[in-house]
Chain A
Amino acid sequence: MSKFKKKKKGLPAISTASLPDIVFMLLFFFMVSTTMRETDLLLKKPVLPTASEVKKLEHKSLVSTIYVGKSKDARIAGDKIQVNDKIIDINDIPSFIFSERALRKEEEVKYMTTSIKADKEANVGTILDIKEQLRDINALKISFSTTKGADIKSNYK
């Protein structure tokens, strides 16, 4: 028993050694959770065109993104359309928008924007088809996603 009594003398300082661990835990949480929202691209990563007159998209939660680009498989020609985590047909775009709308509150629906992230080599025909589909279901706010820059010439070389 005498051994225990000896240790009790003097108040030990509170150890802060575990503080870094807690902070690191938070750090890893943010590192992981912020990349989790990115959708896995099944297409070749679209090279966005450059534009100078860009507007930032506000309210990220109200934006639904449509990707347009070439398939990763070089043998498959033509433009492919991807939403969320799957490649879809043009005719499925309305159902995608409806499912996006179902996730939002009713009063927010009119502020929803569709962002089109298309490769600069994609055909305008595909884009116009998408626009037509969006018009059909009254999803009228769209944004052609671009990178900001002054070098417009690189778009069509």
Chain B
Amino acid sequence: MARRENSEINAGSMADIAFLLLIFFLVTTTMDVDSGIARKLPEKSEDTPEVTIKEKNILDIVVNRNNALLVENEFVEVSDIKRLAMDFIDNGGGLSTPKADKPGEPCDYCNGAKDPASSDHPTKAIISLQSDRGTTYGMYVSIQNEVEAAYNELRNKLALKKYNRTYKDLLSEYKDNATESLKDKINFLKDSYPQIISEPEPIK
């Protein structure tokens, strides 16, 4: 009974352990971020002007309820879409859309085949994705992903050529510090390869 004074356990380090756990939970619970493919829906307007678009400026992607893919009436795999889309967008076979003050000009940054039967200019190239109501969502997202990948790679190439850095790099820096010059660069890249994706009514 003489040792009774020593019997209290030192609980000083208990706080440290608890703090460690606390920090662990604080960090891990915020790590679960929602990420996905961002899309902007077209606005709905009452009077849409009738526009005529040349057949060659549209890349037709059709997917049916058995998840079979047709691109320009040929059977392809999902993994082919990126290459096909890039060839199509970057073709640069003609002139861009004439603006109010200047006439259309040929694409001076395209590396495509300049095939007259394919798209005229990246700003004119439209990707049309026609799906069936019975297509699975996984397939649909895969196609969207491949199309997004095609645009990203084209923007990347142009960014490397013009600014010596990747498009992704520019975007992540813009997120950290939003300067005017960075914004101009990103907008230039976006305008050079604008995402024009059209989704007609699904096949019933």
Chain B residues positioned under 8 Å from A16 (CB to CB): 11-12, 15
Known contacts A23-B18, A52-B149; A155/B39 CB under 8 A:
no
CB proximity to A under 8 Å, residues B1-37: 11-12, 14-15, 17-19, 21-22, 25-26, 29, 33-37
Chain A residues positioned under 8 Å from B29 (CB to CB): 30, 34-35
Chain A 135-146 near chain B by CB (<8 Å), digits 1 or 0 = 110111111111
Tell me the dominant secondary structure on chain A's binding face: mixed
Chain A 32-56 near chain B by CB (<8 Å), digits 1 or 0 = 0011000000000000010111111
Q: Is the CB of B43 within 8 A of A34?
A: no
Chain B residues positioned under 8 Å from A127 (CB to CB): 137, 140
Q: Is the CB of A34 within 8 A of B136?
A: no
Q: Is the CB of B35 within 8 A of A146?
A: yes
Q: Is the CB of B33 within 8 A of A57?
A: yes
Chain A residues positioned under 8 Å from B145 (CB to CB): 51-53, 146, 152
Give the number of residue pairs across the A-B interface with Cβ within 8 Å: 165
Q: Is the CB of A55 within 8 A of B38?
A: yes
Interface residue range, chain B: 35 or more
Q: Measured between alpha carbons, how far is A140 from B148 in the docked complex, in Å?
A: 18
Whether A109 sits at the interface, judged by CB under 8 Å, is no
Q: Measured between alpha carbons, how far is A17 from B41 in the docked complex, in Å?
A: 58
Q: Measured between alpha carbons, how far is A75 from B34 in the docked complex, in Å?
A: 31
Cβ-closest chain A residue relative to B133:
A125
Whether A24 sits at the interface, judged by CB under 8 Å, is yes
Chain A residues positioned under 8 Å from B57 (CB to CB): none
Q: Contact residues of B with A, CB < 8 Å?
A: 11-12, 14-15, 17-19, 21-22, 25-26, 29, 33-44, 67, 78-79, 131-142, 144-146, 148-149, 152, 199, 202
- What are 12 A-B contacts with C-beta separation under 8 Å? A16-B15, A23-B15, A49-B138, A55-B35, A56-B35, A57-B36, A115-B36, A122-B137, A135-B43, A141-B38, A144-B39, A146-B145
15 more contacts with CB within 8 A, not counting A55-B37, A124-B134, A135-B44, are A16-B12, A27-B21, A35-B29, A53-B149, A57-B33, A57-B35, A60-B33, A60-B34, A128-B133, A140-B40, A144-B37, A146-B36, A152-B78, A154-B138, A155-B141
